Amino acid sequence: MKIAIAQMNPIIGDFKYNVGKIKKFANKAKENSYDLIVFPELAISGYPPRDFLEKKDFVDTNLACLDKLISSVHGIGVICGFVDKNPREEGNSLYNAAVLFEDGKKLHQTHKRLLPTYDIFDEARYFEPGREVKSYPYKGRKIGITICEDIWNDKDIFRTRFYHTDPVPLIIEDGADLLINISASPFHLGKKELRWNILGAISKKYNVPLVYANQVGGNDSVLFDGTSVAFDAHGNMAARAYDFEEDIVFFDTESSEGVVHEVTDSDTESVLKALIMGTRDYVTKCGFSKVVIGLSGGIDSALTAYIAVKALGPENVLTVFMPSRYTSRENFEDTEKLAENLGTELMQIPIDGMFKEFLKFLSPEFEENEPGITEQNIQARIRGTILMGLSNKHGHLVLSTGNKSEMAIGYCTLYGDMNGGLSVISDVPKTVVYDISRFINAEKEYIPKRIIEKAPSAELKPEQTDQDDLPPYEVLDIILKGYVEDLKSVDELAEMGFDKKLVADIISKVHRNEYKRYQAAPGLKVTSKAFGYGRRYPLAQRYRPDCL
């Protein structure tokens, strides 16, 4: 059987757009004389639809669009995901479903059995688990269709399993000699290699070809890399789609031949591609075409501006430099050079006069105290107000520029530099910000060399550097990854060689600043655990790691 794997980038709730894209891919596959085309999980609605699933009209529209799709595509078999209703009176009212149809007829459908409820996933909130696992005879094969998580519970791969059942051996026992998995598996560092290992091991274990169609694109904070694949019955990769872009690749189950496209081979480039794709999709899917970014002369805003330019084009990026009495001459020069290198419009708005006026009106309350963090935050909030004013006036989306290290410990100003509609690098640790910036400059010096080499500073007081208040980022980032992503304790981190008091202080800052992140702009998820709706901690709490 000749199979096309269609890796598409849906827009959640834009049923006309999604169905039109499915038709376009199907027609292309039919023109190439392929027998079957496979689309990702919930391709009709886009994934994840979240609480739209609670709206009856959303579900009904999804079903009506599926019916129109079935009646309008002929000459090729199609497998795609959709939202199905549960006719039973008990359990959740919906199923996460897949359908096989051809020439106006539904031939077979199945429901997802394993519903993830960890990190960003909350499928048990909406869906009822599928009850049956059956293969289906089609064009000389018996197809076993599974949906995403259904293949993530093999006892020989996972030492700790989340579910009591594994649908794959059950469908093999029912006679399946071809496995097809439709998926919406999000990206994070190391994820695609993990998927390949799992898929290859399953195909080899059961001695059957395996076709895997994954969603691509950004939906809110969640990024999908695509990288759809097919494996032959020996566990060898026979077809592969590009990463971070739409694609269609072909696989022949009889000859085990397919198209293998090149994908990114470094973590640094993968994160960069993910951020560019995620920025483009978030901005455009939210109805914007232009963005505005505050430049400081520092590396975070420089990297954010580069990502925006690559995502949207320099003509759609307005950069704004807002110097104060503490801004160095080097930052004037570096900001101008950066904007020139990127080809963006640069607007300069000094804030010192506004800062003086703030202090003048506040002086009765402030005069008895030495200038401190309050005065620093006022400067950040002036800048944030200017950016939001430009956004309101011109209809540009504000991109905030804080990195994960700062967001973790609250080294950022609420209603100041945290202002924005999208926080582009909020899941990128500071050390990785430097890695990406050096990678970018290996091609051409987009980011002025001095921006990368100089000590990072908020420039909110004389001769300020980040390391006045923070440990070196090389230390901070390892501790933060250990605590936030790997869930290590204070003692475990201390055993890695870090000062226990320093570790406890950093962890306390992480918890104390939960309220800031709760009010932050959404960010783009590129690590295994990002701040956002995949990480849920209470705001009113008194946990401290040194409480014992």
Residues 236 and 320 in one domain: no
pLDDT (0 to 100) of residue 458? 64
Residue 514 near residue 546, CB atoms below 8 Å:
no
Mean pLDDT, to the nearest integer, of 371-397? Answer: 93
pLDDT at 533: 84
Dihedral angle, C-alpha 195, 200, 202, 206, nearest 10 °: 170
CA 405 to chain centre: 18
Considering the domain architecture, whether residues 36 and 179 belong to the same structural domain is answered as: yes
Provide the pLDDT confidence category of residue 82 given band limits of 50, 70 and 90.
Answer: very high
- Considering the domain architecture, whether residues 289 and 370 belong to the same structural domain is answered as yes
Amino acid making up residue 30: K
Together in a domain, 317 and 456: yes
| Beta strand extents in 171-228 (DSSP E only) | 178-183, 210-214, 216-219, 222-225
State yes or no: pLDDT of 298 exceeds 90.
Answer: yes
Checking if the pLDDT of 337 tops 80, the result is yes
Q: Are residues 346 and 376 in the same domain?
A: yes
Instruction: Provide mean pLDDT across the span 161-181.
Output: 96
Residues 116 and 150 in one domain: yes
| C-beta of residue 261 within 8 angstroms of C-beta of residue 228 | no
Identify whether 71 is part of a domain: yes
What lies within 8 Å, CB to CB, of 161 at 6+ separation is 153, 155
Measured in whole angstroms, the distance separating CA 176 from the mean position of its chain's CA atoms is 34
Catalytic residues: 41, 112, 148
Does the structure show a pLDDT above 90 at 369? no
365 and 403 fall within a common domain: yes
The pair phi, psi for residue 416, each rounded to 5°, is -125, -110
542 in any annotated domain: no
477 within some domain: no
Instruction: Identify whether residues 156 and 279 lie together within a single domain.
Output: no
Please check whether residue 458 lies inside any domain of the structure. Answer: yes
312: domain CATH number is: 3.40.50.620
> Residue 548: what pLDDT?
41
Say what the pLDDT of residue 209 is: 98
Res 367 pLDDT > 70: no
Total count of residues recorded for the chain = 548
Digit-coded pLDDT (tens) for 5-43:
999 999 999 999 999 999 999 999 999 999 999 999 999
| Binding-site residues for L-glutamine | 118, 185, 191
pLDDT digits (tens, 9 = 90+) for 222-280: 999 999 999 999 999 999 999 999 999 999 999 999 999 999 999 999 999 999 999 99
One domain for residues 259 and 279: no
239 within 8 A of 249, measured Cβ to Cβ: yes
Report yes or no on 471 lying in a domain: no
Secondary structure of 113-135 in the HEC alphabet?
A: CCCCCCCCCCHHHCECCCCCCCC
Residue 16 sits in a domain of what CATH number?
3.60.110.10
Binding residues for ATP: 294-301, 401
Q: State which residues form the domain around 249.
A: 2-263
Beta carbons of 424 and 279 less than 8 angstroms apart: yes
First-to-final CA distance of the chain: 63
Domain assignment present for residue 10? The answer is yes
Annotated binding site: 118, 185, 191, 294-301, 377, 401, 406, 516
Between strands 247-252 and 291-295, the pairing is: unpaired
The pLDDT value recorded for residue 217 is 98
Q: Are residues 242 and 321 in the same domain?
A: no
Final residue in a domain of this structure, among 263, 296, 329: 263
Name the pLDDT band for 518 (thresholds 50, 70, 90).
Answer: very high
Instruction: Answer whether residue 357 shows pLDDT above 60.
Output: yes
283 in the same domain as 234 = no
> How far apart are alpha carbons 521 and 532 in whole angstroms?
9
Section 338-366 average pLDDT: 91
Which of these, 75, 80, 81, 71, lies nearest to 34 by C-alpha position? 75
CA pair distance 167, 133, nearest whole angstrom: 7
Find the mean pLDDT for residues 115-134: 95
Q: In total, how many domains does the chain have?
A: 2
| Same domain (yes/no): 217, 280 | no
Give exposure, 483-511, as e/b (b: 16+ Cβ within 10 Å).
Answer: bbbeebebeebbeeebeeeebbebbbebb
Residue with tokens 């503490």: 326
Residue 2's alpha-carbon distances to 204, 500, 543, in angstroms, are 20, 59, 57
Q: Is 116 part of any domain?
A: yes
Q: Model's pTM, two decimal places?
A: 0.95
> Has residue 80 been placed in a domain?
yes
